[in-house]
Amino acid sequence: MDYQLGIDIDPAELIALRWHARPFALSSKRRVASAVSGLHASRFRGRGVDYLESRNYQHGDDIRNMDWRVTARTGKAHTKIYQEERERPVLLMLDLNGSMFFGTRTRLKSVAAAQVAALFSWATTGRGDRVGALAFGDGDFHETRPTGGRRGAMAMIRSLSKWYQPVVRPTTDHGLGNALERVRRVLRPGSMVVLISDFYSCDDTVERHLNRIRQHNDMLAIRVHDRLEQVAPPPGRYSISDGANIGTLKASSAQRRQQYQAWFAERRQQVADLLTRRNIPLIDIDSGLDPIEQLMTGFRVVGQ
């Protein structure tokens, strides 16, 4: 099959991203001396922790982890040692709404989204966790069960290749609120949710669902945009289409271009404010630039 660069999803390209995934691990296996260790050093919680054993108290141990039962039985101070869970499910929420199948430079937003999702899939399975997905927006929901190892990453790539093809799409979109409500019903507490979207499908229910999910899970938002959504187009008239209908964008006057740019700026700020209120880190991805470099920069910022 011949793939159109920047328009089609090339499975070989997504497979090759495996070698770029290591910097994007959100946590690592280690033994910790406190059940709350590391929770405040990062915007992300990391895996949960399981009790491993008790040992003699040592100077500097966290007093909150004293094992009072063993201490009482032995007459010597003991403290609990915890180990991070072996597995932390990661759920990718993928936007399939028509606005994602748009691009003016290098690649469609949908292609950039698939590349980002593949990177997270390789990073997740590479550290021993399972990755699954819920895709929404083409008039239906699509799901892949969380699976670990190379098999899990390859299953995700097959799904991405199928879901993100630029075919004629139904005009009935699924709002982000509906997708979040569905995720709430299947999400395992302690999971990591990575939401990859342009956030044009936000509705009035989104914040309520985000609040419920954030009570027991971590979230990361990846907002994919095209440069034309930030900078007004040059003067002129442009034919535009949503895949089913064709219209004309009139950008002949300075006032029209300013209105255009102001509308997008307002929408972007509304999304940023919403995520800030729910303490969800946001990384912006320009579909015309290298998603790998942008993710690396974004992780350095949100990890502070």
Q: How far is CA 149 from CA 43, 71, 114, in A?
A: 26, 41, 19
Q: For 28-41, what is each residue's pLDDT tens digit? A: 443 434 433 333 33
| CATH class of the domain at 11-26+87-302 | alpha beta
- Mark out the alpha helices in the chain (DSSP H runs): 11-16, 68-74, 109-126, 149-163, 176-186, 206-214, 254-277, 291-302
Average pLDDT of every residue of the chain: 83
At residue 223, the pLDDT reads 97
270 band by pLDDT with thresholds 50, 70 and 90: very high
At residue 39, the pLDDT reads 31
At residue 34, the pLDDT reads 40
Q: For 221-265, what is each residue's pLDDT tens digit? A: 999 999 988 888 888 888 877 666 788 888 888 888 888 889 899
At residue 44, the pLDDT reads 55
The domain ranges of the chain are 11-26+87-302, 31-84
165 band by pLDDT with thresholds 50, 70 and 90: confident
Instruction: Give the predicted TM-score (pTM) of the model.
Output: 0.80
The size of the chain, in residues, is 304
**Does the CA dihedral 184-166-149-37 come out positive or negative?**
negative
Q: For 56-110, what is each residue's pLDDT tens digit? A: 888 777 788 889 999 999 999 998 876 555 567 899 999 998 889 988 889 999 9
